Amino acid sequence: MKKALKIVSYVLSLLVIFSLGFVSVKYFNEIRTLASLKLVEGTKLYTMEFFSDYRFDDFLETGAGSNKEYKDYVNNFISDSLSLSGNSTDSQNACSAFSFRGTDGDRYVARNFDSTANPVMLVVTSPDDAFKSISAVDMTHLGFNSERAPKTFDTKLLGAPYYPTDGVNEKGISVSILQVHFSRKEKNDEKTTLSVYAVVRLVLDYADSIDKAVELIDEYNIYFDSAMMSHFFIADADGNSAVIEFVNGETNIIRNDRSYQAASNFNSSEESFDDDGYVHPEEYRKWLTNSSASAYDSDFGEYIRYDYMLDSLYNSSGILSLDDAFDLLETVASPSKLQYSVVYNLTDLQATLITDNDWDKRTTVALSGVK
C-alpha cells in the first residue's frame, strides 16, 4: 500500500512539474514582461519591457467604437478582468508640448501631462512586425492609482501597450495626445474605428514619417469621448512637426514653419494668429488688456502656456539644453495636476521623465532599457 502511494505521489509530482514547465514555456514572454516591472525609487514612475506579442495588428482588424468595446478587447486579450477607469482623463487637463533642437544638435519633443498625480509607466515595446518604441502610459487605465500600486506579475500590466499617451519609435517619430475643447473626425462606415490611445499606438508601431502618420490616421475613424477630445502633436528626428486636429469633421494639419513648434489645449485651426505666430482670440486679447490674474486662475491658460512656450522658443532660436527644456516645462506646468513631464530625444531614442513635480529626479529610458 505504501509503495502504491509513493508511486501515485511520484506521478502527481511529475505532472505538477510538467504542468509548470508547460506554462513556463507557453507564457515565457509574458512572464519575462511582467518580471521586468521596476519602480524608480522615490517616484511614481514604473518601467517595463514588453517581450510578448500584444497583437495590435489583430485589433486593427476589428477596432472599437467606444471605451467599453476597447476595454473589452483588452480584457479578452490578456484573458483576465481589467478594472479600467471609466473616464479617460480629467476633463480639465492642462497639457503642453513643444519641439526643439538641442544644444547637442539632436532633435527633441517635450511635454507635460497635467492630469492627476497617479503612477505612470515608461514601457519599451518590441513587436515582431512593427517598430520598436518607448511610450508613457497613464496607469489609471490599468486599474492603478496612488492608493493601489501595481505589483510584479499582475496580469493587468499586459494591457499597457494599449494606453500610450505619448512616445517615440525607432524611426524617430514622436506622437503626443493633447486635450482640446472639441474634436470630430468625419465618420466613414467602411473604416475601422479607433480610440485616441489606439491612434498613438498606431503611429508608434507603423509610422516612419509624419506623412505616413497622417496617412495611417486617415485610414481610420476616431471616437472621442467627452473626457478626451484631443489633437495629436507629431514630430520627427529631422526637425519636422505637425499638429493633427479634427474640426467639424475635417482633418486639419498644421505643420511647423520654423525649427520649432508648440501645442496646447486648443485647436489651432479654430484660432487667429498674428504675424509672429502668437495666438490672439478676441476674448483672450481682452483678458490680456484688463486682467492681472495668473495663467491657471484664468479661462485662457491654454493660450498663455502656448504663447509663453512660443516666446521662449523664439528667444532661444528654437535651441535648448535638456535643463532649459525642463525649466520651460516647469514654468508652464500646473503644479496641482502634473502627472509627469517627459523629454523625448528623437535622435538617440530616449525618454527622460519626472513625476511628482520633482524636477531634479529624472529617469532616462532608452530602447535598450533603463539607464
116 or 122, higher pLDDT: 122
pLDDT at 89 over 60: no
Residues 317-364 pLDDT 10s: 999 999 999 999 999 988 788 899 999 999 999 999 999 899 999 999
Contact between residue 202 and residue 214 where contact means Cβ atoms under 8 Å apart: no
- pLDDT the model gives residue 90: 45
**Cα-based angle 115, 94, 235 (whole degrees, multiple of 5):** 100
Residues 159-175 pLDDT 10s: 999 999 999 999 999 99
Element (H, E) at 213: helix 210-218
**309-321 average pLDDT score:** 96
Distance, CA of 347 to CA of 213 (rounded, Å): 18
Contact between residue 210 and residue 173 where contact means Cβ atoms under 8 Å apart: yes
**Cα-based angle 125, 131, 137 (whole degrees, multiple of 5):** 35
Per-state percent for the chain, helix, strand, coil, to nearest 5 = 35, 25, 40
What is the pairing mode between strands 45-50 and 120-125? parallel
The ranges assigned to domains in the chain are 28-265+320-370
- pLDDT the model gives residue 19: 36
Residues 151-179, buried b or exposed e (16+ Cβ, 10 A)?
A: eeeeebbbbbbbbbbbbbbebbbbbbbbb
**306-325 average pLDDT score:** 96
Q: Where are the beta strands (DSSP E) in the chain?
A: 38-39, 45-50, 96-102, 107-114, 120-125, 133-138, 164-169, 174-179, 193-194, 221-222, 230-235, 241-247, 250-255, 261-263, 319-320, 338-345, 350-355, 363-366, 369-370
Q: Which of 59, 101, 71, 90 is nearest to 193 (CA)?
A: 59
**237-262 average pLDDT score:** 96
The pLDDT-based confidence of 147 (bands split at 50, 70, 90) is confident
Q: Which of 303, 194, 180, 299 is nearest to 243 (CA)?
A: 180
Indicate the average pLDDT of the chain: 86
Distance, CA of 272 to CA of 176 (rounded, Å): 23
Provide the grid cell at 146.
Answer: 496612488
Distance, CA of 110 to CA of 19 (rounded, Å): 48
- pLDDT the model gives residue 17: 37
355 CB-side CA count, 13 A: 24
Q: Return the DSSP state at 91.
A: T
> Residue written as cell 510578448?
52
Lowest mean pLDDT among 47-51, 249-253, 292-296: 292-296
Q: Return the DSSP state at 186.
A: P
Residues 203-235 pLDDT 10s: 999 999 999 999 999 999 999 987 789 999 999
16 or 98, higher pLDDT: 98
What is the pairing mode between strands 221-222 and 193-194? parallel
3-state secondary structure of 352: strand
Domain 28-265+320-370 is found in CATH 2.60.40.60 = no
3-state secondary structure of 220: coil
pLDDT at 54 over 90: yes
